[in-house]
Structure 1
Amino acid sequence: MICASRLVHSFRGVARYLETPKSNREDQVRVAWIEARNVVSDESLSIAAREMALVAAGNSRVRRPCLHLSISWAPEDDPSKDQMTEVSDRVLASLKMSEHQAMLVAHGDEHYAHVHAFANRVHPITRIPRYGTFYYRQIEETLRKAERELNFKETPGHYYQLPGQSAPDRRDSLSKRTHKATQSRGEIPFQVLVRDSAEGDFDAAQSWLDLHARLEERGLKLEPRGRGLVVTDGHEYAKCSSVARDASLRKLEARFNAPWSSAEKCSLDHSVQRLRQVVSKDLNPSDKRALVKEFIRLDAQIGGLKTKLTRGVYNSLRTLVNDEQQRGDLGL
């Protein structure tokens, strides 16, 4: 099981979301069942939401009084209503909210079982709010124990593991948006595809140029985004740190002993280095023409090419250009 949690301002907004069908398909039931906790109006989400809002208004300092939880089971699990309510109540108890107002809402429009709970952080009698960040560790501990006791598929968490479990690799964790989208379409997430095909390239690359070349062979390229790097096929993106263990921008810069450099800049730098090396060699006419054309291209692209090549190398290449132009062999 997994549980998502967030604090929101409007009870009515959550109730409206939970009641509104996602599609017009008659074979999909949005609300399978509803149960109330410490609420008088236990048959209507909108009326219950109004009741909660009135209680929350008793403590004006609480800006986001509504806690929204979503507990999901693995597709192969088939929990009963009693089991779903038991797990929901356990989670609320772990957050010390058993005495608070709450509504449990099970949805029937997904291929996996899940139940929502929205609860009032403001106590209905004392008006004292339940503060805190609604600790992931307490929630995960509750879910891990319930999985084992109720014989559901075990899902080791990042914050709590039972004996014999280990924390999952964070690279395997998808964003909520990606997870939901790929589940609904039955697709393999892009970051998983990239990791399966290119993780070894990140591990084996010896330089930025080497890494760019390896990824290019797979139709991929690196791009800076925010303070890090993403790998893309031009349509979808994945954080490099989600593809390989040591593929964050900081770790790659440390390994290559060089700051980030784009594929274009790496290619130009490599071409400049090649010009430095070959200008002193004896070249056949065909190689000489190719060298001269490469020099003309770089001279047009790079400002200060003379400085990069050194004046002597630059002047030697200029002489070659003049000689080839006089022969008319460049085809320019």
Structure 2
Amino acid sequence: MLGKIPAAGRGFKGLVSYLLRGPAAKTRNTAHSGKQPSNETTERQNATRNRVLFIATENLLTNDAEKAVRIMRATANRSRRCKAPVYHLVISWRKEDRPDFATMRAIVDETCKDMGMEGLQRVAIGHDDTRHRHVHVVVNRIHPETGKAWNRRQDWVRLENVLARLAPCYGYEPVMGRHNSPEQFKDAPAKAPDREYQLARRTGAPTPMMKWPRARVMAERANLAALFHQSRSWEDVHNRLAALGYRLEAKGAGLVIRDATSELKLSLVSKEARLNLLQKRFAAAFTPAPLLPALRVEPIIPRGAKAITIDPAPSARPEPPTDPVPTHHAPDIEPITTADDDEDHSPRRRRTRRR
């Protein structure tokens, strides 16, 4: 079992409506376009319509999700201090695991109890519209009796620990993570936040890079801090980082240090290594350095597949010999050469290498 805590927003109605019916915009556009929907559109609408496995409410006076939303909103309005009463978590199973309604309901109940949400109002909606059966849980953080907001501090740690504990009890394989088994992940790179993956998917940007592990940050922080302290210009910074195999790039409102596979926020190096402070000290705005040559990634050949030999680029092919090859012995084997990566600026070829 795997847990996820996506951004919930501030409205119960919009979230529950999406979980029940899917994206409303697609259905509305198809209905008013005046054209016959394609087979693909019809299949997607049918999958959206049949996506709900079950609906279960807790600490509410009704089993109707539409009425439950209005009750949860009325309860949330009792608190003037809490501006984000909507809480959303997802529990999913492996594609080979097919839990029934009773099992999914029991796991949701125990998860909410261990996370301290036992007395809160919630709506659980099970889905079977993907390869992995999963359940969405929409929780009202405002307690219906006390009016106090549930504290979500360290909620991801609590969710990961409780799912790892419950999985063997129901016959599932637990998913190890950084919080329930930190000894296995202390030296491993961390994944980028989910919001970066969603932004890259919407904008078509490259997949976000991994983050440096904590052990690596602690080991290299002092050297990197000294590097920025001794540098006198942006060019000096780029040259010093290039000697270590790193490069400095802009990201968002700050800077990151990157290698071939991962990155580190510059603000984690030292208090002096900040974009605004460096620009003031160098008396110049940040100017990026030319990108370092990307590391060559060998293609992964599936088991049983035949290897494909790619001819080298025309510029890298050796010239044919001027003298005829003697017929009394075999010619020497030509070495395989490829074009220099620095000279390849084709986005299609670079995208193929990354795969």
TM-score (norm 2): 0.52
Cα drift, residue 83 of structure 1 = 2.2
Find the aligned partners of 1:210 and 1:55 in 2 and give their Cα distance: 58
Q: Match of 1:151?
A: 171
Is residue 135 of structure 1 aligned with residue 136 of structure 2? no
Report what 2:60 is aligned to: 39
Root mean square deviation, CA, Å: 4.4
2:188 aligned with 1:167, yes or no? Answer: no
Query: Residue deviations 1:242-291, cap 9 Å, x none?
Result: 9xxxx99839x99xxxx999664899xxxxxxxxxxxxxxxxxxxxxxxx
Cα-to-partner distance string for 1:32-64 (whole Å, 9 max, x where unaligned): 221111222213x22210011122223333322
Q: Are residues 1:241 and 2:264 paired?
A: yes
Tell me the equivalent position of 1:70: 90
Give the direction of change, closer, same or farther, for the CA distance of 1:114–1:3 in structure 2 (3 Å limit): same
Identity %: 21
C-alpha distance in 2 between matches for 1:266 and 1:7? 38
> How many Å separate the matches in 2 of 1:19 and 1:40?
19
Kindly state the Cα deviation for residue 212 of structure 1 after the two structures are TM-superposed: 5.0
The equivalent of 2:256 in structure 1 is 229
For the Cα contact (< 8 Å) 1:9–1:63, is it kept in 2?
Answer: yes
SS in 1 for 2:167: helix
Structure 2 partner of 1:176: 194
Runs of at least 5 residues in structure 1 that lack an aligned partner in the other structure: 196-202, 268-332
In structure 2, the residue corresponding to 1:132 is in which secondary structure? coil
Instruction: Specify which structure has the higher proportion of helix.
Output: 1
Q: Which one has a bigger Cα radius of gyration?
A: 1
CA distance 1:60–1:214, shift in 2 (3 Å): closer
Q: Distance in 2 between matches of 1:123 and 1:264?
A: 54
- Note the residue ranges of structure 2 that are not aligned, 5 or more in a row: 27-40, 213-219, 221-226, 228-236, 280-285, 293-355
> How far did 1:117 drift?
0.8
Contact 1:106–1:116 under 8 Å retained in 2:
yes
Instruction: Name 1:12's counterpart in structure 2.
Output: 13
Find the aligned partners of 2:197 and 2:97 in 1 and give their Cα distance: 18
For 2:128, the equivalent position in structure 1 comes to: 108
> CA offset at residue 134 of structure 1?
4.5
- Corresponding residue number in structure 2 for 1:82: 102
**Paired AA for residue 250 in structure 2:** P
